[in-house]
């Protein structure tokens, strides 16, 4: 007779019956709303104080936790690859035994393609390669030259580093944990369920509430970062197509006498957010219906058209070089880049100081962003991957979206680098703001042919950007409400949808007004820190659960909720050995 017990398949999270919070776990929803509301009020009514305090916290985190962010994401890559090659884990189904995937491979990859390119591609596919082309650790160390031909592959190595396996392993850990414990164990589709092998039934109480609150706050700040960049680019695009008053003119300076040319005005922030959040809140209120599907279809068509334009009419052969040779350089350098931490010597302008500063600006910022964004993308990946094996999920979720990001970087960013490298652009793209670089590049390419064609391309990019922003904000509101409702994905009351739509827009507006995109970046780096600890625990929990399921299978003990006859695991008398929930 086996002494190994079945896993925990029931986690009763208390939700309210009736009233305003009907169906919600008020111990999660109310504190999360209070925290976000305080942040909004603080940023809007005390912008100078909030900016100063947030910056101080950011400096503390960068000084003391930069290594944590670097190493923890390296740990996520190792865990994902380890699960893919581990025989026990690799063949396990993210669902009931024998369950088949809901979507075929083409549809599955298409949806991950949509998640992979995202709104970030429209900003960073051009801005990041060209930024690293001008400056990166090799330039700081004197190994390669800024804006020189010998710096091309280094620029791509770092661009691929930030949007490649590191990013998607972070999402995969969250998505895999949610899928494993929800679809195999039958537990609620919420973050706390992923830690049941470590904490068991205690997660139904205060500990679980705290974990879900941390996830909600991280998600809001992670999505706010995406929307912050999107608002900046949206205003730049509207300015390009002739809408005035949204960005500062070429001679504008701030109180310190520094140029703020091209940055978004407060009026521009408000207009962009009213359009974006208004549309996304209406979409969330209607659910996943015709409107959102229509937007998604437009999104996919315009993405293909824009990418095709860069591949055919941009730097076609340069893109092939950047894609294939750049990936080789990235893969070879990945182990060292993933664990290397530069320490500042405290001397302003020294090489050590500049390397540490650069790492804070780029890898540490990105790792915090991906961690904060993980509940958002992870839940999406989990929902489309039921019935897949763990090996299919890990390799598919890590490699396919990363390759799509690389395609965008190679041809969109490659066209920008090629135009500046051969001298044709003469600084037009270099000098544009990050959000404006894609507009500056397409205008440079098309204006000599036709002003109307150039204007039309700018309109198309603005529409594409709009669809990305609306679908991202809409999905974020629905996902936050799912976590607040103890994993219930059903329809939510309108006031809660409206609250999170308004709250998300207000967070973005407040932080942008108090300190621009850097203020959102600072808040997000701070908010991601506690959730990074939760994600490390998710890794340990997942490994423990898979190991114990392997033992259960050998002993003939049920491993999925449907196999336990007549009762969930807690109703089965405990025997010595492995206890329910482990």
SS3 247: strand
The answer to whether the beta carbons of residues 303 and 464 sit under 8 Å apart is: yes
What was the pLDDT predicted at 518?
73
Do 217 and 374 form a contact (C-beta atoms < 8 A)? no
Contacting residues for 435 by C-beta, under 8 A, at least 6 apart: 123, 127, 229, 232, 233, 235, 236
Q: Give pLDDT, residue 568.
A: 42
Neighbours of 373 (CB within 10 A): 27
Give CA–CA dist 71/287, Å, rounded. 39
pLDDT the model gives residue 288: 46
Instruction: Tell me the β-bridge partners of 264.
Output: 247
CA 179 to chain centre: 18
| CA–CA distance, 363 with 547 (Å, rounded to integer) | 32
**pLDDT per residue over 405-429, tens digit each?**
999 999 999 999 999 988 788 889 9
User: Running DSSP on this structure, what letter comes out for residue 201?
Assistant: G
Instruction: Convert 26-95 into a string of H (helix), E (strand) and C (coil).
Output: HHHHHHHHHHHHHHHHHHHHCHHHHHHHHHHHHHHHHHHHHHHHHHHHHHHHHHHHHHHHCHHHHCCECC
Q: Give the integer Cα–Cα distance in Å for 380 and 366.
A: 20
Residues 6+ positions from 436 with CB-CB distance below 8 Å:
233, 236, 240, 262
Q: pLDDT value at position 576?
A: 30
**Of 274, 311, 234, the residue nearest 467 (C-alpha):** 234
Neighbours of 270 (CB within 10 A): 17
How many Å apart are CA 340 and CA 554, to the nearest integer? 41
SS3 of 450, please? Answer: coil
Q: How far apart are the first and last CA of the chain?
A: 19
- Looking at residue 569, what is its pLDDT? 35
Of 228, 281, 235, nearest to 262 by C-alpha is 235
Map residue 165 onto helix, strand or coil.
helix
Residue 230, Ramachandran bin (φ over 0: left; ψ between -120 and 50: alpha; else beta): alpha
Residue 5, classed as helix, strand or coil, is coil
CA distance 191 to 479: 11
Residues 6+ positions from 8 with CB-CB distance below 8 Å: 185, 187, 196, 200, 201, 568, 569, 570, 580, 581, 582
Residues near 423 by beta carbon (within 8 Å), at least 6 away in sequence? none
- What pLDDT was estimated at residue 23? 87
Element (H, E) at 294: helix 290-313
At 257 the pLDDT is: 66
User: Which pLDDT score is estimated for 256?
Assistant: 63
Distance of CA 203 to CAs 188, 315, 329, 484, 579, Å? 11, 54, 44, 14, 16
3-class DSSP state of 7: coil
Which structural domains are found in the chain, ordered by start? 29-542 (1.20.1740)
pLDDT at 565: 56
For the chain, residues with pLDDT lower than 50 are 1, 288-289, 566-582
Q: Which structure tokens are listed for 497? A: 């949808």
Environment class of 551 (CB within 10 Å of its CB; exposed 0-12, middle 13-18, buried 19+):
middle
């Amino acid at each position: 007779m086996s002494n190994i017990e079945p896993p925990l398949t029931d986690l009763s999270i208390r939700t309210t019956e009736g009233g305003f919070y009907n169906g919600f776990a008020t111990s999660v929803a109310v504190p999360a709303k209070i925290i976000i509301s305080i942040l909004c009020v603080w940023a809007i009514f005390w912008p100078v104080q909030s900016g100063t305090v947030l910056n101080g916290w950011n400096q503390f985190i960068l000084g003391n936790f930069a290594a944590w962010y670097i190493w923890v994401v390296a740990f996520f890559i190792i865990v994902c690859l380890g699960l893919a090659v581990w025989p026990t884990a690799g063949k396990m189904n993210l669902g009931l035994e024998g369950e088949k995937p809901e979507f075929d491979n083409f549809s599955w990859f298409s949806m991950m393609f949509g998640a992979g390119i995202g709104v970030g591609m429209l900003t960073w596919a051009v801005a990041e390669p060209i930024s690293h082309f001008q400056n990166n650790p090799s330039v700081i160390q004197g190994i390669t030259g800024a804006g020189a031909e010998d710096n091309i592959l280094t620029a791509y190595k770092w661009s691929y580093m930030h949007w490649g396996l590191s990013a998607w392993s972070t999402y995969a850990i969250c998505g895999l944990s949610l899928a494993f414990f929800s679809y195999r164990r039958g537990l609620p589709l919420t973050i706390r369920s992923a830690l049941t092998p470590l904490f068991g039934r205690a997660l139904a109480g205060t500990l679980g509430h705290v974990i879900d609150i941390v996830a909600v706050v991280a998600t809001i700040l992670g999505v706010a970062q995406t929307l912050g960049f999107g608002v900046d680019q949206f205003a730049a695009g509207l300015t390009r197509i002739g809408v005035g008053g949204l960005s500062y003119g070429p001679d504008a300076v701030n109180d310190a006498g520094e140029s703020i040319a091209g940055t978004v005005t407060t009026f521009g922030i408000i207009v962009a957010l009213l359009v974006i959040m208004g549309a996304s809140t209406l979409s969330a209120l209607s659910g996943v219906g015709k409107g959102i599907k229509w937007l998604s279809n437009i999104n996919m068509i315009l993405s293909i058209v824009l990418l095709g334009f860069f591949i055919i009419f941009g730097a076609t052969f340069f893109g092939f070089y950047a894609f294939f040779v750049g990936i080789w350089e990235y893969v070879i350098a990945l182990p060292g880049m993933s664990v290397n931490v530069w320490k500042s010597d405290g001397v302003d302008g020294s090489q050590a100081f500049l390397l540490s500063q650069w790492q804070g600006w780029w890898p540490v910022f990105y790792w915090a962003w991906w961690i904060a964004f993980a509940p958002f993308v992870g839940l999406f990946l989990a929902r489309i991957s039921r019935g897949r094996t763990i090996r299919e999920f890990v390799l598919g979720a890590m490699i396919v979206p990363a390759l799509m990001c690389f395609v965008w970087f190679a041809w969109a960013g490659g066209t920008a680098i090629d135009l500046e490298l051969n001298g044709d652009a003469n600084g037009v793209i270099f000098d544009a703001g990050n959000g404006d670089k894609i507009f500056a590049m397409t205008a440079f390419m098309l204006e000599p042919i036709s002003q109307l064609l150039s204007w039309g391309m700018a309109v198309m990019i603005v529409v594409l950007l709009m669809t990305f922003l609306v679908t991202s904000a809409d999905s974020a509101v629905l996902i936050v409400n799912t976590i607040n409702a103890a994993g219930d994905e059903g329809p939510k009351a309108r006031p809660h949808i409206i609250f999170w739509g308004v709250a998300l827009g207000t967070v973005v507006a407040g932080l942008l007004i108090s300190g621009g995109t850097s203020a959102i970046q600072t808040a997000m780096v701070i908010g991601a820190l506690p959730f990074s600890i939760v994600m490390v625990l998710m890794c340990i929990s997942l490994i423990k659960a898979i190991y114990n399921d392997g033992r259960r299978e050998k002993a003939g003990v049920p491993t999925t909720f449907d196999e336990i006859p007549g009762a969930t695991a807690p109703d089965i008398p405990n025997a010595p050995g492995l206890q329910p929930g482990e």
